[in-house]
Structure 1
Amino acid sequence: MNKVIDSLTHVCTRGYGLALLAGLFFLASCNDDNDSPLTQDNDLSEVIAENPELSSFEAASADIEEVSGLLRGTESYTVFAPDNEAFNTFLNGRSLNDIPENVLKNVLLNHVVAGQLRAGDLENGTLTTLGGSDITVARQGDSFLLNGNVRILAADIEASNGIIHVVNAVMDHEEDMSMGSIAEEVVNRDNLSTLEAILTSGNYDALLNAASDPSADLTLFAPDNEAFANLLMLLDVELGDIPTGVVEDILMYHILGESVMSGELMDGTAATTMLGEDITVMIDGGMVTLNPGDFAVMVEEADIEANNGVIHQIGGVLVPPSVQSILGTVVEPAYFSKDFTTLVAAVVKADLLGALLAADGVTLFAPTNQAFENAGINVDDLDGETLARVLKYHVLPVNVPAGDLVAMLDADYEAPVNQVSAHTLLGDNYELYFSRLNGMFYINGDTKLDPANIMTDQGTVHVLPEGVLMPPTMTIAEIVQMYASGEAEGTDEDGEFNVLLAALTRATNEGGFDFLGAVSNPEANLTVFAPTDEAFMKLLNITNLSQLEDIPVEVLTDVLQYHVIIVPFFSVDLLNNNAPATLYSSISIQVTDNLTIVDREDDNMDANIIIADVKATNGVIHAIDNVLLPFDLVDNGGEEDDEN
């Protein structure tokens, strides 16, 4: 009883009311036998709530489920509860909301001991709290000192599930309050220097600020340096080459929006990260594995506490499920490279990622950001359907490494044109044509190909450093008609190729050769040299003719046939094979290195290709500035030279 009276004396000095004093005397008189069972009906949380001098402790514990749960539970505990004055000293002008939740939780748990310990049970020595710290007990006559300077103000306050001792100070909070933030803890660990470099690079200030915020409550799964090194080796990239958006997403997948100690992780459960994607947990023999399976990561060091959360150091980089599906595919090299962010944005907007990932054995021709810029393509300006057409035109449904492309061109070297073609995902009518000139590779004549030969499990990636492949949408006839109507970009209201269209129409109707049908045929694959209107005017002038109708139709038909090759010759192919055969009696034209076409006649009317490689769905058009002549019309007034 003397022990309780001593405690009550301290209570009176801290201003407890008469009601509490009477209650404590009653409790003491009823419980001189320290081993008697608890008879109080109210649990620890209810008893604390009934005592106004413990209102701060009540408020602090109410918001922390782990603490309030055990105070309401069926297990027995002993609580050393600081009174309000003790809490005010601890807060030092702050509010409870200013204390990080994990710090406050640790402080409270460091005042709770398992089991019921009345004052008579206390002996010199130590008590281990639920927070993991020790309370030293030193008896001084009939009173006690805890941790050398904390006194019990009121002892043996019973509850249905434990005992409360009111104390005059918050114990061992200095260590909790002196913890660094998550960001500071990362900086202080040498084996997390890569993570530190990322967070402090200036690219991820929002994440750094969150990890530094003392009011935050977070869990960080922190990959060590070796983990980052292994991932970069797998991806074959440098950290600085990865787009910041990709890095940020991966980092957010390592953060939970609340502090979760390792003991709170449950086998078979999932935790939702700040990225919005889940991490799954497996616990086996005390070892914690995250995302068990092909992308499993082990927790190497758990429960590194900070003043705004907890860090679990891990031996690998966690890969979000949305990114896991990209690894090993033709999308991977672009996704993890700053040079292809426009391409990735286009794939996402076109909703084409799933189709690309599902394809088996493909070749991707990947335009760089610079290539999109050169082509004047802004992804934001195009709808998803248009982007999907463009992107499918960059994919072959077969795997063609650079070595295979070289072998095919070598095997085709003796053909009329040293060129190979392949159908794209856009459809059988949409082919890509591959040519080689001076050791360089080209697609459709004018798009330079860097056969980087980036091999993946799914197929091969080749880089397009300068241009984007645009799928044709019109036949040769439709392109000529569009220019003639003045609707083509860069033409005035008078249009272009009006005379060519008139010549094709007249030769079709009167000359016995269906030119319009040929250039309209979707199954054809032609090369057409298209003289401009000015080119035809020059021809009429040198032949002293006033109009197209003055040229005999059979002569016009022969001249037009001299402008058509029955296979697609792009500009690079013309330079490779400078004697392609035309429809006119297999007579060849000569092409010089500067894309000047030398016809059969020495009439000083050689034609320059002024617009090359206009791709149509059924061939290719080259605009030329003179009409090609297979025979002498100049000296014969538009009549064909009989000697030819």
Structure 2
Amino acid sequence: MKTLTALTKILLLVMMVLLSFSCDNDDDTVIVDPEPTNTIVELAQATPQLSSLVSALIKYPDLVSLLSESGTYTVFAPDNDAFDALLIAIGQTSIDDIPEDVLKNVLQYHVFTSAAVESSAVTTGSITMANGEDANLVAENNGVTINGSQVTTADVEGTNGIVHIIDSVIVPPSILPIVGTIVAPAYFNKDFTTLIAAVQNANTDILGLLLGNGPSDEGLTLFAPTNAAFEAAGITDVNGADAVLAYHVIDGTIMAAMLPSTTGAAASVPTLGGENIHITNAGGDVSINGTSTVVLTDIVGSNGVVHVIDRTLIPPTQTINEIVGDFAGGNPAEFTLLAAALARAGLADFFAGDGPYTVFAPVDAAFEAAGLDLATINASEPSVVAGILTHHVVKANLNVFSTDLVDGNVTMLNDQDVTISLSNLSVQDAAGSNPEAGLVPSLLNVLATNGVIHVIDKVLLPSNN
């Protein structure tokens, strides 16, 4: 029994020594976090909720290289939901729609290159991001925000910095005023880079105009030309295009259903550039000035609405008289016989009036084919020449564009009718000439400040009856 008791005491003593050693050992143990092994780019690529960010980032090899090399960077990484919300806010369906320079600017605004900043070290204040613009950090009890975007996952460490995942895309201050306005659908879409370049190269008043609410404070309506629309209009240099830009904006928010309906002639609507645009809306496509078609409607912004057009509108700067005179003095010259006929008939100043006039203008070859060369015109009675010329002018003071024309009769200024055939693009005069005059497709809808010219290849002769 004594032996058992002694053995028990020895065992208890051993256990106490072991326990004491174990406790001492625990007190001395230091737990070391594993060193990060992935760069910031690799961290993003390995995080499913950052797949949209990765899709955007890989468009820019220089940014990928920057965030893959050694350094001390802080990246505020928007999650996929944040990018989805951004696309809705800017009216786009894909990151691929956004112009590359705009998207790169946004991405750079999420990178702080001066230090790797842990969330615990954040203090309220501003920091300068990689695009050169400042962002505002706020450190509160409920976490960290940057420009109001909440950090949802903090301190994801990489070999070259720290990633903080955030719940919304932060937009640079230089861009933020555009978001949601009628400028946004164009600014954030690569199909409108020419339009945006024109705005950026214009007087700053133009951008202010487009971001405003219009003179009536009822919003604005922007007819936005695509890149292809500028090409169609032959515009390659957008420097100093202020007047062209203002010619695409009308006061008030005019949805497609509110555009004026027309029959036989265009409806004239004043623009903020001063000159009118002329809208044809006869139940089919809506067209402007006879040359541009509205291809997409009712893109709503916070300060109005956008309708997309397929040809840029160019405001007129000359009267019909001045257009004829310029052509007549050109090289090669055209409309020299029309100018001579106007002078002989005493109508040289007629087309300098207010109008509006719709004129079918014969080329010089048309006069010559009708036996009306310069000598014959000058030898003819003025009243005879006037009788011929007034058979080329629509009687009603209206802007009749090619998109307004329909098959049938049109009464001219001399009170005789011509007959329009759209299928043949022809005009039959009152004399019943054969063949009929043809409309020259490339020279229709020549817009003047006081009307519109359609060029034809034959002189229209009045009836002698």
Question: Same-fold call, TM > 0.5?
Answer: yes
* Structure-1 residue corresponding to 2:409: 579
Distance 1:560 1:286, change over 3 A: same
Matched AA of 1:498? T
1:473 corresponds to which residue? Answer: 317
CA distance in 2, matches of 1:616, 1:194: 50
Which amino acid is 1:619 matched to? G
Which of the numbers 39, 57, 65 marks the counterpart of 1:199?
57
Asked whether the equivalents of residues 265 and 401 of structure 2 are also in contact (C-alpha less than 8 Å), the reply is: no
Q: Describe the SS at the equivalent of 1:319.
A: coil
Identify the match of residue 188 of structure 2 among 336, 341, 363.
Answer: 336
Letter in 1 for 2:34: E
Gaps of 5+ in 1: 1-122, 127-135, 139-146, 149-171, 509-514, 632-640
Shift, 1:551, TM fit: 2.4
Give the CA deviation at 1:546.
Answer: 5.8
Letter matched to residue 155 of structure 2: D
Could you say which residue in structure 2 is the equivalent of 1:98? none
* Aligned position for 2:140: 284
- Specify the code of the residue in structure 2 equivalent to 1:219: T
Report how far residue 224 of structure 1 moved: 1.1
Residue 518 of structure 1: how far off its partner (Å)? 2.5
Q: Pick from 515, 531, 555 the counterpart of residue 362 of structure 2.
A: 531
Distance 1:609 1:286, change over 3 A: same
Task: Give the match's secondary structure for 1:260.
Answer: coil
Aligned equivalents of 1:603 and 1:507: distance in 2? 22
Q: In 2, Cα distance between the equivalents of 1:198 and 1:604?
A: 65
8 Å Cα contact 1:524/1:619 also seen in 2:
yes
Structure 2: unaligned runs, 5 residues or longer? 1-22
1:613 is aligned to 2:457: no
Aligned pair partner of 1:184 in 42, 59, 83: 42
Distance 1:262 1:473, change over 3 A: same
Per-residue deviation, residues 608-631 of structure 1 (Å, max 9, x unmatched) = 121211111111111111111222
Q: Could you tell me how far apart the structure 1 residues matched to 2:302 and 2:213 are?
A: 11
- Aligned residue number for residue 85 of structure 2: 230
Aligned twin of 2:462: 630
Q: Does 1:442 align with 2:292?
A: no
Q: Number of residue pairs matched?
A: 430
> Residues of 2 paired with 1:299 and 1:399: CA distance?
38
Decide whether the 8 Å contact of 1:436 with 1:572 is kept in 2: no
Partners of 1:616 and 1:125 in 2: CA distance? 96
Q: Which of 263, 266, 272 is the matching residue for 1:425? A: 272
| Percent pairwise identity | 38
Q: Verify: 1:459 aligned to 2:296, yes or no.
A: no
1:388 correspondence with 2:235: no
**Matched residue type, 2:403:** V
Q: Quick one: distance in 2 between partners of 1:300 and 1:545?
A: 84
Q: Distance in 2 between matches of 1:534 and 1:239?
A: 55
Distance 1:431 1:125, change over 3 A: farther
Q: Deviations 1:505-525 (Å, cap 9, x if unpaired)?
A: 1211xxxxxx2323123x332
Residue deviations 1:290-315 (CA, integer Å, cap 9, x gap): 22xxxx21111222121211111111
User: 1:352-377 CA distances to partner (integer Å, 9 max, x unpaired)?
Assistant: 32221124311111111222223332
Contact kept in structure 2, 1:518 and 1:524, CA below 8 Å = no
Write out aligned runs for 1:231-630 (5 A): 231-236=86-91, 237-258=93-114, 259-267=116-124, 269-291=125-147, 296-351=148-203, 352-360=206-214, 361-378=219-236, 381-383=237-239, 385=240, 387-405=241-259, 408-409=260-261, 412-413=262-263, 417-427=264-274, 430-436=275-281, 439-465=284-310, 467-487=311-331, 492=332, 495-508=333-346, 515-521=347-353, 523-540=354-371, 547-565=376-394, 566-575=397-406, 578-585=408-415, 587-593=416-422, 594-610=424-440, 611-630=443-462
- Counterpart of 2:74 in structure 1 is 219
Shift of the alpha carbon at 1:382?
4.1
Deviation at 1:545? 10
SS at match of 2:235: coil
Following superposition, the deviation at residue 233 of structure 1 comes to 3.1
Counterpart of 1:22?
none
TM-score, normalised by the number of residues in structure 1: 0.63
The amino acid across from 2:101 in the alignment is: G
**Kept after mapping to 1: 8 A contact 2:225/2:308:** yes
Conserved 8 A contact 1:242-1:336: yes
With structure 2 as the length reference, what TM-score do the two structures score?
0.87
- Report the Cα distance in structure 2 between the residues aligned to 1:457 and 1:125, rounded to whole angstroms: 67
Contact 1:371 1:464 in 2 (8 A): yes
Kept after mapping to 1: 8 A contact 2:319/2:352: yes
* CA displacement at 1:605 relative to structure 2: 4.9
Instruction: Describe the shift of the 1:400–1:208 C-alpha distance in structure 2 as closer, same or farther (beyond 3 A).
Output: same
1:83-94 correspondence runs (5 A): none
Deviations 1:122-180 (A, max 9, x none): x9578xxxxxxxxx747xxxxxxxx69xxxxxxxxxxxxxxxxxxxxxxx6x933x432
For residues 273 and 150 of structure 2, the distance between their equivalents in structure 1, rounded to whole angstroms, comes to 44
2:444 counterpart SS class: strand
CA distance, structure 1, for counterparts of residue 283 and residue 167 of structure 2: 49
Aligned mates of 2:199, 2:408 — CA distance in 1: 39
Report if aligned partners of 1:282, 1:290 keep a CA contact under 8 Å in 2: yes
The answer as to whether partners of 1:605 and 1:628 remain within 8 angstroms in 2 is: no
Cα separation, 1, equivalents of 2:38 and 2:450: 69
Residue-by-residue CA offset, 1:483-519 (whole Å, 9 max, x unaligned): 11125xxxx2xx11111111111211xxxxxx23231
Aligned residues of 1:402 and 1:451 also touching (Cα < 8 A): no
Q: Work out whether residues 265 and 398 of structure 2, in 8 Å CA contact, stay in contact via their aligned partners in 1.
A: no
Q: Is the Cα contact below 8 Å between 2:410 and 2:418 reproduced in 1?
A: yes
CA distance, structure 2, for counterparts of residue 245 and residue 562 of structure 1: 56
Residues 605 and 627 of structure 1 are in contact (CA less than 8 Å); yes or no, is this contact kept in structure 2? Answer: no
The alignment's C-alpha RMSD in Å is 2.3
Q: Which amino acid aligns with 1:426?
A: G
Match of 1:49 in 2: none
Which one scores higher on RCO, CA 8 angstroms, separation ≥ 6? 2
CA–CA distance in 2 between the matches of 1:124 and 1:479? 102
The whole-number CA distance in structure 1 between the counterparts of 2:120 and 2:337 is 84
State the alpha-carbon separation in 2 of the partners of residues 261 and 574 from structure 1: 70
Aligned mates of 1:304, 1:250 — CA distance in 2:
21
Query: Which residue of structure 2 lines up, in the alignment, with residue 48 of structure 1?
Result: none
The separation in 2 between residues aligned to 1:573 and 1:298, in whole angstroms, is 56
Q: What is the Cα deviation at residue 582 of structure 1? A: 2.0
Q: Which amino acid aligns with 2:42?
A: E
Shift of 1:234: 3.2
What do the CA deviations read for 1:271-294 (whole angstroms, capped 9, x no partner)?
Answer: 111111211122332422222xxx
